[in-house]
Amino acid sequence: MLVNRKLILAHFWLAFAVFGIALTLGAWQMFIRSPIGTWLSNPELYYRSLTAHGTVMGYVFPTLVAMGFGYAISESALEQRLIGVRWAWTGFWLIVIGSVMAVIPIALGRASVLYTFYPPLIGNLFYYLGVVLVVVGSWIWVALMSINLRVWRKAHPGAAVPLAMFANVAGSYLWAWTAVGAALELLLQIIPVAAGLKNTIDAGLARVFFSWTLHAIVYFWLMPTYIAYYTIVPRAIGGRVYSDTMARISFILFLVVAMPIGMHHTFADPQVGAGFKFIHSAFTALVALPTLLTVFTICASVEIAARLRGGRGLFGWIGALPWDNPMMLALAFSFIMLGFGGAGGLINMSYQLDASIHNTQWITGHFHLIFGGAIVIMYFAIAYDLWPHLTGRELIDIRLIRTQLWLWFIGMIVTTFPWHWVGILGMPRRMAYFDFGDPAIAPQALSVTFSAIGGFVLLASGIMFIVILARGMRAPQIDAGAYRFALAVHQPTTVPVALNTHALWVALMIALTITNYGYPILNLATTAGTSVPAVYVGAQ
């Protein structure tokens, strides 16, 4: 039951429009710093573009996808009209206003501080205010998801919350809490300085606050993808979810352990104690657990689909899978990229291995593979799956859809594999150009060229994606029927309270944040003499 289709479509369209812009900027960046581009006479243009690319891809695009998908889940999984539609539109417009507000100073070169902010560098006040508005807009969505679930629970006492909604609400709580770190950094530290009320800032503390957000935000980006793995893929390929309980446990684990691990982003920082680095490192290892469980459950679910289709043998069933189904293709690509990206993540997680690749191009390669690859390709799949239900029109170009997914996969591999490699060679991040003519770094030139070519393949795929969706708006009308989610092999009738509610796990998440972040933050905040003069970028 999708009633507020316009609302959901608005979120998706805005998401994919800004995605298209940021993708174009990304491809340009890959090109301009590669040996096939010519050096920029104004390196600041690169950092401007980089700030826009990061801000849009990090804060705006995935947030809008999660929100639009969240509203769709709430209406279709709960079979209940969305409560608070007006608020939902308010949230949407806050994001629109915030994005515009943030992008104008970026475009003018007044906020080239990158999406990670990097105080004591300080950009234009409106950039930060814009980001705050985007986050506030998304918090409205968090509240609405919670309210809608609560209303449903009242109407269905004791009933098992549908898995899709359970996961969706878990994702929204994760986001609400993880955004608090960056919000504290912005509100308590950066905005007073950008507004001219203060002129010193504790850069070390700011990095700790940001690390609070920086890792769990990735899991927030990941949530729609995992929801699709569990609740869309099995249905789309004609199978069933292997285990509803395991799915719930995975989402709960994300909620609990995605958050208190962010300090692995500060392994190389001098302001964090070694003890806390170790604790965060250990918890980071734990976050691999829900992913490993997911890999098992989804592979098993896919196997069920294959066997239902007549697949036989130990591995023979793989051939029986519906490989011409875009959802199957997207899942396979996503898993391959998740596998490689996850292996890379295990390297980043350990202090010792991290030292050889910290802040090199390896890291950029890593998160592009995970986010741009494994996660975003499922965003595409979600959009393809939902589109007929949102527009009431058929997506006819199945072949084009397959080509688009293939191109995205190939593009991502061609882009990120050489990217990882030059990172191992020690190529630093975020430089506007490199002198590949110098013999010391000339060997990296070929890899960087491949990456840049991959960037254009991705751009082509991104354009195809938008064209497919746009054409879907004008295709012949069909009755797509009700939007449904996958059923489990053993569909639960009752679920233990702990696995049907979030309270316990949210409490645990907050408690772990206090144990893992409380002291480091208090310690830095109360130590005198750690604030340093702000450095205003673009000031003359």
Partner 1 sequence: MSTRDLFTFSNRHFTIGVGITAAILVVTAIAGFVVLPFAQPWVRFANVWDAICSAAGVAQRAANVTTPDQPKRLSEVVLTSRTLSRPSQEAIGRGATLAQRCAICHGPTGISRADSPNLAGQYAAVIYKELHDFRSGARANAVMSPFAVNLTDEEIADLSNYYAYLPRLPAYHPTPQLPKPNIVIYGAPMRGIAPCGSCHGSLDNKTGSPWLEGQSEAYMKAQLQAFASSERRNDISQQMRNIARAMTSQEIEAAAAYYASQPPDIVKAVD
Partner 2 sequence: MSAEQAHGSSVEVAARVERRWATIAVIIIVAMALLAAFAGIHRATMPQPRVEITDPSRIHLSGEFVESNLGSVLEANGNVTVRAIGQQYSFTPACIVVPVDTPITLRATSADVVHGILIQGTNVNTMLVPGYISEQLMRFARTGDYLMPCQEFCSFGHEGMWGKVKVVDKTDFANRAKAGGRLSCVGQ
| Token duo for residue 409 | 């996969």
Among 48, 207, 240, 277, binds partner 1 (CB under 8 A): 277
Point out which span in 15-23, 35-43, 50-58, 402-410 binds partner 1 (CB under 8 A). 35-43
Question: Which residues inside 468-497 make contact with partner 1, applying CB under 8 A?
Answer: 496-497
Cα 225 from chain centroid (whole Å): 9
Tell me which of partner 1, partner 2, none is bound by residue 430, counting a contact when its beta carbon lies within the kind-specific cut-off of 5 to 8 angstroms: partner 2
The phi, psi pair for 421, rounded to 5°, reads -65, -50
Residues in region 94-133 near partner 2 by CB under 8 A: 112, 114, 118, 120-121
Q: Establish if 286 lies at the interface with partner 1 (CB under 8 A).
A: yes
Of the candidate residues 195, 268, 343, 503, the single one contacting partner 1 (CB under 8 A): 503
* Burial of 22 (C-beta count, 10 Å sphere; 0-12/13-18/19+): buried
Other C-beta atoms lying within 10 Å of the C-beta of residue 158? 10
Report 139-178 residues binding partner 2 (CB under 8 A). none
Q: Does 519 bind partner 1 (CB under 8 A)?
A: yes
Regarding 422 and contact with partner 1 (CB under 8 A), the answer is no
Residue 227 CB, shortest distance to partner 1, in Å, is 22
Q: How would you label 251-276 residue by residue, b for 16+ Cβ within 10 Å and e otherwise?
A: bbbbbbbbbbbbbbbbbeeebbeeeb
What distance in Å separates the CA atoms of residue 473 and residue 498, rounded to the nearest whole number?
Answer: 42
279 binds, among partner 1, partner 2, none (CB under 5 to 8 A by kind): partner 1
Lookup result for tokens 């409490």? 507
Q: Is 271 an interacting residue with respect to partner 1 (CB under 8 A)?
A: yes
Interface residue with partner 2, options 160, 320, 410, 432 (CB under 8 A): 432
Q: Which of 180, 125, 162 has the alpha carbon at shortest distance from 247?
A: 162
Axis-axis angle for helices 61-78, 5-32 (nearest 10): 150
User: Binding to partner 1 by residue 36, rule CB under 8 A?
Assistant: no
Binding residues for partner 1 restricted to 181-240, rule: CB under 8 A: 199
Give yes or no for residue 426 binding partner 1 (CB under 8 A): no
What's the closest the beta carbon of residue 176 comes to partner 1, in angstroms? 20
d(CA 358, CA 24): 27
Our finding on whether 286 is near partner 2 (CB under 8 A) is yes
Locus of tokens 């300090």: 263
Q: Which two tokens stand for residue 266?
A: 């500060």
Residue 258 sits in the site that holds partner 1 (CB under 8 A): no
Within 13 Å and on the Cβ side, how many CA atoms surround 519?
A: 9
Binding site for partner 1 (CB under 8 A): 39, 41-44, 199, 256, 271-279, 282-283, 286, 431, 433-435, 438, 440-441, 496-499, 501, 503-505, 507-508, 511-512, 515, 519-520, 523-524, 527, 530, 533-540
